Amino acid sequence: MAAEAARPGPAFGPGDSPEGPEADAPERRRKAHGMLKLYYGLSEGEAGGRPSGPDPLDPTDLNGAHFDPEVYLDKLRRECPLPQLMDSETDMVRQIRALDSDMQTLVYENYNKFISATDTIRKMKNDFRKMEDEMDRLATNMAVITDFSARISATLQDHHERITKLAGVHALLRKLQFLFELPSRLTKCVELGAYGQAVRYQGRARAVLQQYQHLPSFRAIQDDCQVITARLAQQLRQRFREGGSGAPEQAECVELLLALGEPAEELCEEFLVHARGRLEEELSALEKELGPSPPAPDVLEFTDRGGSGFVGGLCQVAAAYQELFEAQGPRGGEKLAAFAQELGGCYFELVERRLAQEQGGGDNSLLVRALDRFHRRLRAPGPLLAAAGLTESATEIVERVARERLGYHLQGLQTAFLGCLTDVRQALAAPRLAGKEGPSLAELLASVASSIQSHIKASLAAVHLFTAKEVSFSNKPYFRGEFCSQGVREGLIVGFIRSMCQTAQSFCDSAGEKGGATPPALLLLLSRLCLDYETATISYILTLTDEQFLVQDQSPVTPVSTLCAEARETARRLLTHYVKVQGLVISQMLRKSVETRDWLSTLEPRNVRAVMKRVVEDTTAIDVQVGLLYEEGVRKAQSSDSSKRTFSVYSSSRQQGRYAPSYTPSAPMDTNLLSNIQKLFSERIDVFSPVEFNKVSVLTGIIKISLKTLLECVRLRTFGRFGLQQVQVDCHFLQLYLWRFVADEELVHLLLDEVVASAALRCPDPVPMEPSVVEVICERG
Amino acid sequence: MEDDAPVIYGLEFQARALTPQTAETDAIRFLVGTQSLKYDNQIHIIDFDDENNIINKNVLLHQAGEIWHISASPSDKGVLATCYNKTPDSRVLACAAVWRMPEELESVGHESPDDSASTTQTLELLCQLGSAAPGNVACVTWEPMGDGKKVISLADNHILLWDLQESSNQAVLAGSASLEGKGQLRFTSGRWSPHHNCTQVATANDTTLRGWDTRSMSQIYCIENAHGQLVRDLDFNPNKQYYLASCGDDCKVKFWDTRNVTEPVRTLEEHSHWVWSVRYNHSHDQLVLTGSSDSRVILSNMVSISSEPFGHLVDDDDVSDQEEHHAEEKSKEPLQDNVIATYEEHEDSVYAVDWSSADPWLFASLSYDGRLVINRVPRALKYHILL
């Protein structure tokens, strides 16, 4: 069998080769060959011995698949010479022989293997026969076992059912026992205070009892249970009401009560009532601290206590409530909100009262910290109690306090300003008493200015605390915008500058009557202060403010220029008033001196009257005073020896030109004419004209007022000859000393000329004094 | 509507005293008294012809002395009173007297003699006021509504009520009161109120205003510190009985309600020097005239405190609906106090201003250099008030 199997290779090849020139066929064949070779242990080397070069399709290749003996022979015969043919023939014979022996060996070997395989199969046949017998035996045994087993099951079936039944009965009995024991257990639990356990038992038994309540025994149990449960509920409520055990335990009570099926709404109410009780206790404690009698704890401590006591309590209540009564839906939430709102209102009221007490105090940082705590604490319940609007109310309170603080600071600044003024007044009054040199006006001015500025800065710093980053309310829109622009900038700074101007102006108004109590130096100082504000301080302060409080608000603010204009106007009014007051002082002196003297019977003048010297002295003093605070100012061009020059003009040409005609018959006409012509060429003198901010202008104003008064007074009197001469002397004296103070000395000349002319008119016997004599007297005086 | 230019008249002498001829209601006539120490003083009677804008003058000699104050009798055109200074023996005496003008001058303005006429006529002295009681007379004021028989003179610190008898030939002291106090008190000015049946007089001394009852000669009110400095003049509102105006050296004009003496109703501060004279218009009391030593005359419109605060009220019966509507509208207009005009014709201090007694739209002002200026209320305002 094996030989047959090996044979097909060579037998197959020659028959197939002629019609198999396709490409894949030989490969497939080759593969099969390879596999067979592999099977029979032929080495590749043997196969590899053949020449690899020749075409596998070559029919002349002895080892090729397409070998054609005829073609091969033809080829040999045609190609090879005889010796080679001979060689080929011998070679071929030899090869055939070798192949034959190989074939014989192969067949032999295959035969041997076939025989051994046949032996093996025979042996297996015997074994299987044995095994079949044993299998049969096993099958019978199994049948026997199955039979037995069925028999045992049938026997046990009965027992099993009974056991199952018994187990069921047992469970039922235990349940029943539980039920029967329930009342006593409940009682025990209640006695022991294990309310939770009790409620759990009750909860377990309730449904069953409900179901079987038609059975009298169960009914009894149920009744008992209900009684006990009622007692339990009562006790729970009792405990709940006593309230001493704190919010968590109360919450537990409520939970148990809810589990007992108590009506939730009622519990809600009761819960809130209890919470209210506790919170109100907190509030009353706070109120006690607030008490009518200080020392109350400082405001920080107060808000801390309020925060931890009341607000903390409120938070707990709110949290517990929301947890317990979540099922209540929006209505429960509303109730809670109303509750929180009401209590929050009370709390806010207390806080406000406390803060109101703080209004007078000076420590802003403490207040701000307190407010911060207060506000921060209330932000916690914020999300919980959004509906109650507590956060908004808190913010409002903080805002209100901030506003009041601003008002307080404004007041403080005003007080400080008034205080400065009082100091200045005292300083101005002091030197005369002490008899020594007090601080100069410039020093006073500097001290006032710096003191006000430092007060402003202090206030700004204090107020600035409200907007500090770490403060919880500083990012509220009010503090970002309105507080900065309207509150601080407009309310505090602009308000203060305005009020300062007003205070200063009030000196002008009130002091106008009867001299007033305001020292002129104060007027001068205030005027300079306002002017300084106009030039520098206002813009400095406002820039400072704008920098510190980055104003984001778009609402319109007072521009610097408006304020400056106001300050300038104030300064101008003050200075004008100063001029009026000082002019009035000198005027009064001059008026008294003219009014009280008997000019008709006066003696020939020997001296300048003392009052004129006094006038010059006072004017010099004023000049010095004004010079301390104001710049010199511009004068009209003047010669270095102005007094001399004008004197000559005054006394010789002008004066004589004027008096000469009085000896002629047509005197009155000429005098009038002359004075009128002179007036035609001179400008109208505005006596109380507004002044400029410089020394010369101020002095000019004062001198104008004084001389005009002198003129009017002279016109009301009648002079004798010597009276006229006295006026002449006096006027010349004034001429000598006053020109240096004024902007335009021509003005002094004009006015004094007019005084002398008027005196001449008011004299029935006008004989003027010799100019040289006048000069001598004045120089001597 | 051009306003007429002011009419200017010049006197040779200095002058302070000016008054309208109060009893004259047809012709526009002012009396001016001069001040001269060396020559005979004069009273100029100045007639203004409104039609032709011409001034006629008559001069009367007032030889007694320089005239400081002049006032005309409200009932007799020919009677006037002056306060004047005499300077005998190096002394100044301030006296007051009642005079009568020569007959032919009383009414006839146009038959004036030439300026050069040597026959200048003289006043006839009726009686001296206070020859018995010495004192410097500052002011004489006539009873505004009466028969021209009562006069009050203010001398030093005395207020003297005189009864003129027997066609004013004799003055009998009917009552007096005096001001007592520290220092030397002197009245500077006084006016007789036309209200309350002519029983009230107001006086000024230093900074104080006082009201007096002429029946009992006792003080009825006192406005202390009415002005910061001396009060120069005062005048009563002719239509509102409690209102009076005052002016003084603090350059202010103040309006007072005498029922409230603590605060003035209004204050004007338009002048730049002492205000010497203040006068209400006799018919339209919103028009207030002030003269000051800053050489200006200011006419102010004080509508808000006048008797016609909402303008002239037209009788509803006389106007048609349209006009009525118009009138209502006008009455609702907010009327503001304001300065109507500032007159700068004067070169020297203006010591006296006064309204004409005949024409309510015309006034005169007098400055020290002897210049008399006659002005009119601006036409626009006149029609605004009238219509």
Contact B203, B258 (CB under 8 A): no
Instruction: Count other C-beta atoms under 10 Å from residue A321's C-beta.
Output: 25
Please answer yes or no on whether A761 and B14 come within 8 Å at the CB atom: yes
- Residue A778 to residue A143: CA distance in whole angstroms: 172
Report the distance separating Cα A392 and Cα B265, nearest Å. Answer: 50
Q: What is the pLDDT of residue B211?
A: 92
How many angstroms separate the CA atoms of A567 and A551, rounded?
24
Helix axis angle for A441-464 and A520-532, nearest 10°, is 50
Token pair, residue A643, equals 């007094």
Q: Which helix (H) or strand (E) holds A449?
A: helix A441-464
pLDDT tens for A173-206 read: 888 888 777 777 777 777 777 777 777 777 777 7
Q: Which of B38, B207, B294 sits opposite A687 (nearest CB)?
A: B294
Which whole-number Å values give the CA distances from A437 to A338, A428, A429, A520, B210, in the listed order?
A: 72, 10, 11, 18, 46
The predicted structure's pLDDT at residue A31: 62
**Average confidence (pLDDT) over A411-421:** 86
CA-to-CA distance for A142 and A160, rounded, in angstroms? 26
pLDDT band at B111 (very low <50, low <70, confident <90, very high): very low
Is the pLDDT at A721 greater than 90? The verdict is no
pLDDT at residue B245, as a whole number: 93
Reported as a pLDDT band with limits 50, 70 and 90, residue B2 is: low
Q: Rounded CA gap, A451 and A416, in Å?
A: 8
Counting one residue from A and one from B, how many pairs have CB atoms under 8 Å apart? 62
Q: What is the pLDDT of residues B221-235, one digit of tens each?
A: 999 888 888 899 999
- pLDDT at A695 (0 to 100): 84
What is the C-alpha separation between B327 and B321, in angstroms, rounded?
10
Structure tokens at A421: 């003024």
Average pLDDT over residues B42-55: 86
Query: Based on the number of CB atoms within 10 Å of its own CB, is B346 exposed (0-12), middle (13-18) or buried (19 or more)?
Result: buried
> What's the pLDDT band for A740 if we cut at 50, 70, 90?
confident
Query: What is the layout of strands, in order, in the sheet containing B14-20?
Result: B14-20, B28-35, B41-49, B54-62, B121-122
* CB distance A698 to A579 below 8 Å: yes
Lowest-confidence region among A64-68, A685-689, B218-222 = A685-689
Joined together, the tokens standing for residue B65 give: 């002395």
For residue A679, give how far its alpha carbon lies from the nearest alpha carbon of chain B (Å): 7
Q: Using a CB-CB distance cutoff of 8 angstroms, which residues of chain B are in contact with residue A600?
A: 87, 90-92
| Highest mean pLDDT out of A295-299, A410-414, B289-293 | B289-293
CA A713 – CA A589 distance, rounded (Å)? 11
Tell me if B100 is assigned to some domain: yes
Q: Which two tokens stand for residue A544?
A: 């400072």
The tens digit of pLDDT for each residue in A143-175 reads 999 999 999 998 898 888 899 999 999 998 888
User: Is residue A60 predicted with pLDDT exceeding 70?
Assistant: yes
Looking at residue B165, its pLDDT comes to 77
**Residue B73's pLDDT is what?**
87
Which chain B residues contact residue A513 at CB under 8 A?
225, 228
For the cut 70, the answer to whether the pLDDT of residue B3 exceeds it is no
Query: Average model confidence (pLDDT) for chain A?
Result: 75
Q: Which amino acid is at A745?
A: E
| pLDDT score, position B297 | 92
Average pLDDT over residues B44-70: 87
- Chain B residues with CB within 8 Å of chain A CB: 12-14, 36-39, 85, 87, 90-92, 207, 225, 228-229, 250-251, 272-274, 293-295, 347-349, 368-370
d(CA B101, CA B119): 15
> In one letter, which amino acid is B88?
P
Burial of A189 (0-12, 13-18, 19+ CB in 10 A): buried
At A590-608, the pLDDT tens digits run: 888 888 888 888 888 888 8
Tell me, what's the pLDDT at B327? 45
Mean pLDDT on A254-269: 72
Highest mean pLDDT range out of A328-337, A445-454, A482-491? A445-454
How far apart CA B15 and CA A352 sit, in angstroms, is 75
| Contact residues, chain A to chain B, C-beta under 8 Å | 512-515, 584, 600-601, 667-669, 672, 675-676, 679-680, 684, 686-689, 708, 712, 715, 718, 720, 761-764
Q: What is the mean pLDDT of residues A428-455?
A: 72
| A50-59, A747-756, B261-270: the lowest-pLDDT one | A50-59
Domain total for chain B? 1
pLDDT value, residue A459: 83
What is the rounded distance in angstroms from the CA atom of residue A737 to the CA atom of residue B296? 31
Interchain proximity A762–B37, CB inside 8 Å: yes
Tell me, yes or no, whether B292 lies in a domain: yes
In this complex, do B228 and A514 lie within 8 Å of one another by their Cβ atoms?
A: yes
CA of residue B362 relative to chain centroid, distance:
14
* CA–CA dist A237, A223 (Å, integer): 21
Residue in B92, B347, B349 nearest the CB of A718: B92
Closest CA to B98 of B153, B34, B58: B153
Q: What is the band of A687 on the pLDDT scale with cuts at 50, 70, 90?
A: low
Answer whether residue B316 is part of any domain.
no
Q: Which helix (H) or strand (E) holds A269?
A: helix A264-290
CATH number at residue B172: 2.130.10.10
Q: From the CB of residue B267, how many other CB atoms can be counted at a distance below 10 Å?
A: 12
What are A294's two structure tokens? 């200080």
Percentage of residues in chain B having pLDDT higher than 70: 85
Least confident of A209-223, A237-251, A687-701, B290-304: A237-251
Burial profile B180-202: b = 16 or more Cβ within 10 angstroms, e = fewer: eeeeeebbbbbbbbbbeebebbb
Average pLDDT over residues A45-60: 56
* Residue in the structure block whose two tokens are 């022979």: A73
Give the list of residues 6+ apart from residue A549 with CB closer than 8 angstroms, or none: A464, A467, A483, A484, A485, A488, A489
Query: Which pLDDT belongs to residue A117?
Result: 93
Which residue in A668, A718, A762 is closest to B12 by CB distance?
A668
Amino acid at site A739: W
Q: Tell me, rounded to whole angstroms, the distance of Cα A684 from its chain centroid.
A: 65
Query: Which residue in A510, A513, A601, A685 has the most chain B C-beta atoms within 10 A of its own C-beta, making it the best mutation to test that interface?
Result: A513
Q: Residue A16 pLDDT > 50, yes or no?
A: no
Residue ranges of the domains in chain A? 87-194, 201-387, 405-427+440-582, 597-632+679-780
| pLDDT over 70 at A643, yes or no | no
Residue A18 has a pLDDT of 44
**Residue in B14, B91, B295 nearest the CB of A684:** B295
Cα–Cα distance for residue pair B95/B27, rounded to 1 Å: 30
Three-state SS for A389?
coil
At residue B243, the pLDDT reads: 92
Q: What angle do CA A510, A513, A519 make, to 5 degrees?
A: 70
pLDDT of res. A678: 56
Give the separation between CA A715 and CA A733, rounded to whole angstroms: 20
What's the mean pLDDT in A641-650? 39
Averaged over A568-595, what is the pLDDT? 86
What is the number of alpha carbons within 13 Å of residue A519 lying toward its C-beta?
16
Chosen from B35, B90, B232 to mutate, greatest number of chain A CBs within 10 A:
B90
- The residues pairing with B79 across neighbouring beta strands, listed in sequence order, are B100
Report which DSSP code applies to B260.
B
Chain A hits for B156, CB-CB cut-off 8 Å, are none
pLDDT given for residue A244 in this prediction:
53
Which of A380-394, B42-56, B125-139, B255-269 is predicted least confidently? Answer: A380-394
Distance (Å, whole) CA B289 – CA B340? 10
Sign of torsion over alpha carbons A27, A33, A39, A44: negative
pLDDT of residue B198 exceeding 80: yes
Residue type, B224: E
CA–CA dist A189, A72 (Å, integer): 120
B114 located within any domain? no
Of chain A, the percentage scoring pLDDT greater than 70 comes to: 75
Burial class (CB in 10 A: 0-12, 13-18, 19+), A531: buried
Residues A642 and A739: beta-carbon distance below 8 Å:
yes
Which residue is listed with tokens 């020896």? A641
The chain A residue lying nearest B207, using CA atoms, is A514
Q: Return the pLDDT at A327.
A: 63
Q: How many helices (H) and strands (E) does chain A have?
A: 30, 0
Residues sharing a CB contact under 8 Å with residue B88, sequence separation 6 or more, in sequence order: none
Cβ neighbours of residue B124 under 8 Å, at least 6 residues apart? Answer: B99, B100, B101, B102
Q: Which sign does the torsion angle of CA A536, A537, A540, A546 carry?
A: negative
Rounded to whole angstroms, the Cα distance separating A66 from A22 reads: 12
Query: Looking at per-residue confidence, does B135 or A67 come out higher?
Result: A67
Using pLDDT thresholds of 50, 70 and 90, give the confidence band for residue A514.
very low
Q: Is the pLDDT at A557 greater than 90, yes or no?
A: no
In eight-state DSSP terms, residue B130 is: S
Q: Which of A219-228, A395-404, A466-475, B185-194 has the lowest mean pLDDT?
A: A466-475
Query: How many C-beta neighbours within 10 Å does residue A755 have?
Result: 25
Summarize the confidence of residues B67-82 as an average pLDDT.
88
Is B285 within 8 Å of B307 (Cβ atoms)?
A: yes
Six token digits for residue A567: 């300050």
* Range with the poorest average pLDDT among A579-583, A649-653, B96-100: A649-653
pTM of whole model > 0.80? Answer: no
Least confidently predicted of A74-78, A563-567, A670-674, B181-185: A670-674
What band does A119 get if pLDDT is binned at 50, 70 and 90? very high
Select from B228, B272, B274 the Cβ nearest to the Cβ of A712: B274
For A515, left (φ over 0), alpha (ψ -120 to 50), or beta? left
Looking at the DSSP bridge assignments, the partners of residue B141 are B152
In sequence order, the 6+-apart residues with CB closer than 8 A to the CB of A25 are none
Count of CB atoms situated within 10 Å of the CB of A435: 7
| Structural tokens at position A578 | 């100063």
> In chain B, what residues touch A761 (CB-CB under 8 Å)?
14, 37
Does B349 contact A600 at a Cβ distance shorter than 8 Å? no
* Spatial distance between the Cα atoms of B210 and B220, rounded to a whole number of angstroms: 7
Most confident stretch, A66-75, A292-301, A752-761, B90-99: A752-761
Using 50, 70 and 90 to split pLDDT, how confident is the model at A135?
very high
Interface residue of B91, B186, B347 to substitute, partner A, most A CBs within 10 Å: B347
